[in-house]
Each structure stands twice: as structure tokens, then as C-alpha cells.
Structure 1
Amino acid sequence: MWNAHRIRAQRNITAPHGRPSIMYMAPHLYGLDDYLFQCNSLDVQNCQEECHMLTYPCDETVFELCCLLMEELHLLPPEDAEEGRNLYIILRQEIRNLM
């Protein structure tokens, strides 16, 4: 739904204007080049097999240490950005105290 809106013409002549979904699917209508690269599903599958997916948000040892500290200090996982920041500050201080 969002990409169906209309982008108005700008003062910058080189900036295209129109509906984003149409501009993406048919760039030639706006005098633009099509940079989409077609690839087959085998190429995508090979890339997925070679990608290393992260199972931890940081170094595994640091993650395990933080989990242990959270358990020891009876801290819960954050539910929003503010709680995440507060948890980070607490864990950072606890790790520094251990050093």
C-alpha cells in the first residue's frame, strides 16, 4: 500500500518522480536503467548454504557471560529500547567489576 503513493516532482531535475512500485517494476518508463539481476534458485540456494548465520548477537563467550549475569542478578530480557539500554549499562558495569 505504501509504495502506491505518488512521489511529487522535485526541484532536482535528476530525481525521478512517480509511484515507487511502478518505478521499481518498470524503470524504463521513467528513463531509468533496470539494475535488477535475475538469478536462478540454485544460485540462491548455494549462497544460503555458504552464508554463516549468527546464532548469537555478539561474541558467544560474552553472550553466555551476560546470560549468566542476568540469571544471577534476576534480570529479565528487555522489552523495549530503554530497557535494553539500562540492561546494557548494568551488564557492562558487572563485567568491568569482574575484570
Structure 2
Amino acid sequence: MIDSGLLRIDGPVHLECLGFCFIPLIQRDLNSFNHLWNSHRIRQQRNVEAPNGIPIVSYYQPEAYGTRLLCELETIDRIQERYFVKKPHFGCKDDFIPVLEHLCEMRREHLSIPESIERATSLFLALTEILDGS
């Protein structure tokens, strides 16, 4: 999209539209991968010392797998409290939502999230065309 001139990464409006259109799709796929990864069992390998079992269980119950936590959960919680950035609900900054509401003529709870890359691309192109005044 950058090479074809459709996306300007130096333009905040383009970046907000990009986030609104694509971040929910990316997050959906990441959640799916996370679920699949954490619900499968890693088989034990012969003659190889490697982790095995269910990844999420081995993370939260390392002693069941003969290991230990390398970092205490409290430490992780403190780091998260200090450095965590709240992810935007719609993939873009909250102050950009009124712009989208105005353009789409609907309230935020009715704004639809694209279900495919093709729809996300079409929506991105439509929004940026309107906002760029082309």
C-alpha cells in the first residue's frame, strides 16, 4: 500500500484509518493462534531435552514440568502496570472515533469491524479518500 501510494505513513489520519481497518483483523488472528498454540500438546522428543506438554499449563504451573518460573508473576504484574499501554477498542485512538462516526453516520457501537483483508482494504481506501478530500 505504501509502494502504490495508497498509504502515507507520515500522515496521522492514514495511520488511524489503518489501525481502525486492520488491527482488529490482526488481533483476531493473533487470538486464534494463541488459542491453537495453547490448546495443543507438544510431544516429548526422544534423545532431546526440550519442553513438552501444554504450553499454557507449563507457563502457569512450571513445577509440574520440573522447571521453575524465571520471573515471579508479581514482577510481571508490576512491569505491566508501569509500561502497559491500553490497546484501543477500535484499533485507533479514542479521539478519532468521532471522526469515524461522522463519516459513517453511525454511533461507535454500530461501527462494523471488517471481517476480511479485502473489506478492510476497501474501507481503508474509502475512508482515506474522503478524509484526503480527493
The normalised TM-score by structure 1 is 0.51
**Larger Rg belongs to:** 1
What secondary structure does 1:18 align onto?
coil
| AA aligned opposite 1:37 | E
Tell me the CA shift for residue 7 of structure 1.
1.8
Tell me the CA shift for residue 36 of structure 1.
5.5
Tell me the CA shift for residue 95 of structure 1.
0.9
Q: Tell me the equivalent position of 2:5.
A: none
Distance between the aligned counterparts of 2:40 and 2:62, measured in 1?
16
Structure 2: gaps spanning 5 or more residues: 1-35
Counting matched residue pairs gives: 88
Pairs within 5 Å for 1:15-94: 15-20=50-55, 22-35=57-70, 37-39=72-74, 47=81, 53=86, 54=88, 57-58=92-93, 60=95, 62-71=96-105, 77-82=111-116, 83-94=119-130
**Pairwise CA RMSD:** 4.2
| AA aligned opposite 1:80 | P
Q: Tell me the equivalent position of 2:19.
A: none
| AA aligned opposite 1:28 | E
What secondary structure does 1:88 align onto?
helix
Question: Percent identity at matched positions?
Answer: 26
Structure 1: gaps spanning 5 or more residues: none
Does the CA contact (< 8 Å) of 2:101 and 2:111 recur in 1?
no
The normalised TM-score by structure 2 is 0.41
By relative contact order (CA 8 Å, sep 6+), the higher-ranking structure is 2
| AA aligned opposite 1:68 | H
